[in-house]
Structure 1
Amino acid sequence: MSTRAETVEFLTDQLSALPGIRTRKMFGEYCLYFEEKPVAFVCDDELFVKPTDAGRTYIGTPDEAEAYPGSKLYFRISGDRWEDREWLAGLIDTTAAALPAPKPKKPRTAG
Protein backbone atom coordinates (compact mmCIF):
# COMPACT_ATOMS: atom_id res chain seq x y z
CA MET A 1 0.00 0.00 0.00
CA SER A 2 1.31 3.45 -0.76
CA THR A 3 0.68 6.78 0.90
CA ARG A 4 -2.20 8.91 -0.35
CA ALA A 5 -1.40 12.44 -1.54
CA GLU A 6 -4.11 13.75 0.84
CA THR A 7 -2.14 12.43 3.82
CA VAL A 8 1.00 14.28 2.77
CA GLU A 9 -0.99 17.45 2.05
CA PHE A 10 -2.53 17.29 5.53
CA LEU A 11 0.86 16.84 7.21
CA THR A 12 2.52 19.65 5.26
CA ASP A 13 -0.42 21.91 6.11
CA GLN A 14 -0.07 21.00 9.79
CA LEU A 15 3.64 21.90 9.54
CA SER A 16 3.10 25.14 7.60
CA ALA A 17 4.48 27.19 10.53
CA LEU A 18 7.92 25.79 9.65
CA PRO A 19 9.39 27.55 6.62
CA GLY A 20 11.14 25.23 4.23
CA ILE A 21 9.05 22.08 4.75
CA ARG A 22 8.96 20.02 1.59
CA THR A 23 8.28 16.46 0.55
CA ARG A 24 9.64 14.21 -2.14
CA LYS A 25 7.81 11.20 -3.48
CA MET A 26 9.86 8.03 -3.56
CA PHE A 27 8.51 4.62 -4.57
CA GLY A 28 4.93 5.55 -3.66
CA GLU A 29 5.98 6.86 -0.26
CA TYR A 30 7.31 10.26 0.82
CA CYS A 31 10.34 11.76 2.51
CA LEU A 32 9.71 14.89 4.58
CA TYR A 33 12.48 17.49 4.58
CA PHE A 34 13.00 20.47 6.87
CA GLU A 35 15.92 22.83 6.29
CA GLU A 36 16.95 20.41 3.52
CA LYS A 37 17.41 17.64 6.09
CA PRO A 38 15.41 14.44 5.68
CA VAL A 39 13.61 14.32 9.03
CA ALA A 40 10.77 11.84 8.46
CA PHE A 41 9.09 9.39 6.13
CA VAL A 42 5.42 8.99 5.37
CA CYS A 43 4.83 5.32 4.56
CA ASP A 44 1.45 3.59 4.26
CA ASP A 45 -0.20 6.81 5.52
CA GLU A 46 1.84 6.75 8.74
CA LEU A 47 4.45 9.26 9.92
CA PHE A 48 7.88 7.95 10.91
CA VAL A 49 10.32 10.50 12.37
CA LYS A 50 14.06 9.89 12.40
CA PRO A 51 15.15 8.88 15.89
CA THR A 52 17.30 11.33 17.81
CA ASP A 53 18.00 11.72 21.52
CA ALA A 54 16.36 15.16 21.39
CA GLY A 55 13.27 13.70 19.72
CA ARG A 56 13.07 10.93 22.31
CA THR A 57 13.19 13.54 25.09
CA TYR A 58 10.53 15.62 23.32
CA ILE A 59 8.16 12.66 22.84
CA GLY A 60 8.78 10.94 26.16
CA THR A 61 8.25 7.27 25.37
CA PRO A 62 8.07 6.96 21.59
CA ASP A 63 6.39 4.17 19.68
CA GLU A 64 9.19 2.72 17.56
CA ALA A 65 8.56 0.78 14.37
CA GLU A 66 10.00 0.05 10.94
CA ALA A 67 8.97 2.58 8.30
CA TYR A 68 9.13 -0.20 5.71
CA PRO A 69 10.14 -3.87 5.92
CA GLY A 70 13.77 -4.17 6.89
CA SER A 71 14.29 -0.51 7.82
CA LYS A 72 15.78 0.65 11.08
CA LEU A 73 13.37 1.74 13.80
CA TYR A 74 11.81 5.20 13.59
CA PHE A 75 9.51 7.07 15.93
CA ARG A 76 5.98 6.29 14.69
CA ILE A 77 3.75 9.27 15.36
CA SER A 78 0.09 8.38 15.70
CA GLY A 79 -2.60 10.23 13.80
CA ASP A 80 -4.04 11.85 16.95
CA ARG A 81 -0.71 13.68 17.48
CA TRP A 82 -0.98 15.04 13.93
CA GLU A 83 -3.87 17.24 15.05
CA ASP A 84 -1.64 19.23 17.43
CA ARG A 85 0.15 21.60 15.02
CA GLU A 86 2.44 23.12 17.66
CA TRP A 87 3.53 19.77 19.07
CA LEU A 88 4.15 18.29 15.62
CA ALA A 89 6.10 21.34 14.40
CA GLY A 90 8.13 21.27 17.63
CA LEU A 91 9.03 17.61 17.08
CA ILE A 92 10.14 18.20 13.48
CA ASP A 93 12.12 21.32 14.48
CA THR A 94 13.77 19.47 17.38
CA THR A 95 14.63 16.53 15.15
CA ALA A 96 16.11 18.71 12.42
CA ALA A 97 18.23 20.62 14.94
CA ALA A 98 19.71 17.31 16.16
CA LEU A 99 20.57 16.03 12.68
CA PRO A 100 23.79 16.94 10.87
CA ALA A 101 23.72 19.35 7.95
CA PRO A 102 23.26 17.62 4.59
CA LYS A 103 26.42 16.90 2.70
CA PRO A 104 26.97 19.11 -0.34
CA LYS A 105 26.09 17.37 -3.57
CA LYS A 106 28.92 16.61 -5.93
CA PRO A 107 28.63 18.30 -9.29
CA ARG A 108 27.66 15.99 -12.11
CA THR A 109 30.32 15.32 -14.67
CA ALA A 110 29.57 15.23 -18.35
CA GLY A 111 30.20 11.95 -19.91
Structure 2
Amino acid sequence: MPTRPETLQFLLDQLASLPGVRVSKTFGEYCLYVDGRSVGFVCNDQLFLKPTDAGRAVLGQPVLGAPYHWVQTPHYLLSADRWDDRDAMHAAVMATAGALPCPKPRKPKAAAR
Protein backbone atom coordinates (compact mmCIF):
# COMPACT_ATOMS: atom_id res chain seq x y z
CA MET A 1 0.00 0.00 0.00
CA PRO A 2 1.63 3.27 -1.05
CA THR A 3 1.87 6.23 1.28
CA ARG A 4 -1.27 8.35 1.20
CA PRO A 5 -0.87 12.08 0.44
CA GLU A 6 -2.61 13.06 3.69
CA THR A 7 -0.17 10.92 5.70
CA LEU A 8 2.81 12.54 4.01
CA GLN A 9 1.35 16.01 4.59
CA PHE A 10 0.77 15.28 8.29
CA LEU A 11 4.37 14.11 8.67
CA LEU A 12 5.70 17.22 6.92
CA ASP A 13 3.49 19.43 9.11
CA GLN A 14 4.89 17.74 12.23
CA LEU A 15 8.48 18.25 11.04
CA ALA A 16 8.02 21.71 9.49
CA SER A 17 10.15 23.51 12.09
CA LEU A 18 13.25 21.43 11.30
CA PRO A 19 15.87 23.00 9.00
CA GLY A 20 15.46 22.18 5.33
CA VAL A 21 12.87 19.44 5.76
CA ARG A 22 11.67 18.03 2.44
CA VAL A 23 10.76 14.80 0.73
CA SER A 24 11.44 13.51 -2.74
CA LYS A 25 9.82 10.68 -4.63
CA THR A 26 12.14 7.64 -4.43
CA PHE A 27 11.45 4.09 -5.61
CA GLY A 28 7.71 4.80 -5.67
CA GLU A 29 7.68 6.13 -2.09
CA TYR A 30 9.49 9.05 -0.42
CA CYS A 31 12.93 9.89 0.92
CA LEU A 32 13.01 12.29 3.88
CA TYR A 33 15.72 14.97 3.95
CA VAL A 34 16.73 17.28 6.77
CA ASP A 35 19.25 20.01 6.03
CA GLY A 36 20.30 18.22 2.83
CA ARG A 37 20.87 14.87 4.54
CA SER A 38 18.83 11.81 3.70
CA VAL A 39 17.63 10.67 7.12
CA GLY A 40 15.06 8.06 6.18
CA PHE A 41 12.14 6.94 4.08
CA VAL A 42 8.37 7.23 4.23
CA CYS A 43 6.91 3.96 2.94
CA ASN A 44 3.49 2.40 3.44
CA ASP A 45 2.42 5.26 5.74
CA GLN A 46 5.37 4.61 8.05
CA LEU A 47 8.60 6.49 8.77
CA PHE A 48 11.86 4.55 8.64
CA LEU A 49 14.92 6.37 10.02
CA LYS A 50 18.42 5.36 9.07
CA PRO A 51 20.07 3.43 11.90
CA THR A 52 22.53 5.51 13.92
CA ASP A 53 23.83 5.28 17.47
CA ALA A 54 22.44 8.76 18.15
CA GLY A 55 19.00 7.72 16.92
CA ARG A 56 19.07 4.61 19.07
CA ALA A 57 20.00 6.71 22.11
CA VAL A 58 16.93 8.89 21.58
CA LEU A 59 14.54 6.06 20.69
CA GLY A 60 15.70 3.59 23.34
CA GLN A 61 14.82 0.16 21.95
CA PRO A 62 13.60 1.04 18.46
CA VAL A 63 11.40 -1.24 16.39
CA LEU A 64 13.34 -2.42 13.35
CA GLY A 65 11.97 -2.70 9.86
CA ALA A 66 12.93 -2.41 6.21
CA PRO A 67 11.48 0.36 4.06
CA TYR A 68 11.94 -1.78 0.94
CA HIS A 69 12.25 -5.56 0.63
CA TRP A 70 15.77 -5.34 -0.85
CA VAL A 71 17.18 -3.20 1.99
CA GLN A 72 19.57 -5.35 4.00
CA THR A 73 20.21 -2.99 6.92
CA PRO A 74 17.18 -2.66 9.20
CA HIS A 75 15.98 0.89 9.79
CA TYR A 76 14.28 2.33 12.88
CA LEU A 77 10.53 2.23 12.36
CA LEU A 78 8.39 5.09 13.67
CA SER A 79 4.82 4.11 12.88
CA ALA A 80 2.17 6.82 12.49
CA ASP A 81 0.88 6.31 16.05
CA ARG A 82 4.17 7.81 17.35
CA TRP A 83 4.00 10.92 15.14
CA ASP A 84 1.71 12.80 17.51
CA ASP A 85 4.59 13.31 19.95
CA ARG A 86 6.23 16.09 17.94
CA ASP A 87 9.08 16.69 20.40
CA ALA A 88 10.12 13.02 20.49
CA MET A 89 9.94 12.76 16.71
CA HIS A 90 11.98 15.96 16.27
CA ALA A 91 14.61 14.63 18.67
CA ALA A 92 14.88 11.30 16.82
CA VAL A 93 15.05 12.89 13.37
CA MET A 94 17.57 15.56 14.42
CA ALA A 95 19.76 13.02 16.24
CA THR A 96 19.78 10.90 13.09
CA ALA A 97 20.56 13.90 10.87
CA GLY A 98 23.37 15.01 13.18
CA ALA A 99 24.99 11.59 13.07
CA LEU A 100 25.01 11.41 9.27
CA PRO A 101 27.71 13.00 7.12
CA CYS A 102 27.01 16.20 5.23
CA PRO A 103 26.19 15.65 1.58
CA LYS A 104 29.14 15.93 -0.76
CA PRO A 105 29.08 18.94 -3.06
CA ARG A 106 28.23 18.05 -6.62
CA LYS A 107 30.98 18.30 -9.18
CA PRO A 108 30.30 20.83 -11.90
CA LYS A 109 29.44 19.34 -15.24
CA ALA A 110 32.20 19.40 -17.80
CA ALA A 111 31.74 22.06 -20.47
CA ALA A 112 30.61 20.68 -23.80
CA ARG A 113 33.06 21.11 -26.65
Partner of 2:6: 6
For the aligned residue pairs, the C-alpha RMSD in angstroms reads 1.2
Residue-by-residue CA offset, 1:33-84 (whole Å, 9 max, x unaligned): 0010000100111110000001001100010111110202100012221001
Spell out the pairing of 1:60-71 with structure 2 (5 A cutoff): 60-71=60-71
Deviation at 1:8, TM superposition (A): 1.2
Partner of 1:106: 107
Between the aligned partners of 2:93 and 2:58, the Cα distance in structure 1 is 10
2:68 aligned with 1:50: no
Task: Check conservation: 2:45, 2:80, Cα contact below 8 A.
Answer: no
Deviation at 1:27, TM superposition (A): 2.9
Q: Which amino acid aligns with 1:4?
A: R
Between the aligned partners of 2:110 and 2:6, the Cα distance in structure 1 is 38
Task: Check conservation: 1:3, 1:28, Cα contact below 8 A.
Answer: no
Partner of 1:73: 74
SS in 2 for 1:93: helix
TM-score, normalised on structure 1?
Answer: 0.93
- What runs of 5+ residues in structure 2 fail to find an aligned partner? none
Deviation at 1:110, TM superposition (A): 4.9
TM-score, normalised on structure 2?
Answer: 0.91
Between the aligned partners of 1:75 and 1:109, the Cα distance in structure 2 is 39
Between the aligned partners of 1:16 and 1:86, the Cα distance in structure 2 is 12
Deviation at 1:19, TM superposition (A): 2.5
Larger Rg: 2
